[in-house]
Every structure is written in C-alpha cells, then in structure tokens.
Amino acid sequence: MKNIFRIHLIGFIWLITAIDVWCCQFLTADMELNPLARIIMVNWGLWTMIGFKVFGTWVATEWLRHLPFYFSVITALGMGLLALVLAGVIPV
C-alpha cells in the first residue's frame, strides 16, 4: 500500500514541476525571485533553468523511491506549498 501511495506522491511532484515549468515560460530575469535561478537565466537562458528544474526533479524522485516513505510525504507537502505560491494563494 505504501508503494502505491508513494507512486501517487511522486506523480504529484512531477505534476507540480510541470506547472512550475509552464509558469517559468513567462519569466524574465528581473521577475525571478530565486537568486540562483536568476543567475542561470542571465548566463545560460530560460530553457537551461527549466532543464535544471526537470533534472533536479528526476534526481529527487529517484532518491525518494529508495528513501523512507515519510520523505516522499514531506516532499509532496513542499510541492503543495509551491503550487499554492504558483496559484497566488500564498503571496511572495
């Protein structure tokens, strides 16, 4: 049962990443609040930053498949907070 729930949590993490990538298409370096993302956008471009986000999500989900279950839950909760920020519910 934990494995099925873990698969759903990892799917949720990828869904939020997809929404985040979609939202990033409309960013400029002036609008980005994350300093590291701003540096990547200025030096290498938007699509490099998006590539780093997708690669980072892949690495994180690979780790989550082998770590204890509660790491998946904590990460999914963090991604839920990110979804609330992207939706404008939590202002930044």
| Full domain range(s) for residue 29 | 2-74
pLDDT of residue 3: 80
Number of domains in the chain: 1
**Structural domain includes residue 81:** no
Q: What global pTM score does this model have? A: 0.74
List the pLDDT tens digit at each of the 92 positions of the chain: 778 888 888 888 898 888 888 888 777 778 777 788 788 888 998 888 889 889 988 988 888 888 888 888 888 888 888 888 877 788 87
Q: In this structure, is residue 88 part of a structural domain?
A: no
- 87 found inside a domain: no
**What does the H/E/C string look like for the chain?**
CHHHHHHHHHHHHHHHHHHHHHHHCCCCCCCCCCHHHHHHHHHHCHHHHHHHHHHHHHHHHHHHHHCCHHHHHHHHHHHHHHHHHHHCCCCC
Q: Is residue 6 part of a domain?
A: yes
Task: State the CB neighbour count (10 A cutoff) for residue 84.
Answer: 11
Assigned domain for 61 exists:
yes
Q: What is the pLDDT of residue 55?
A: 93
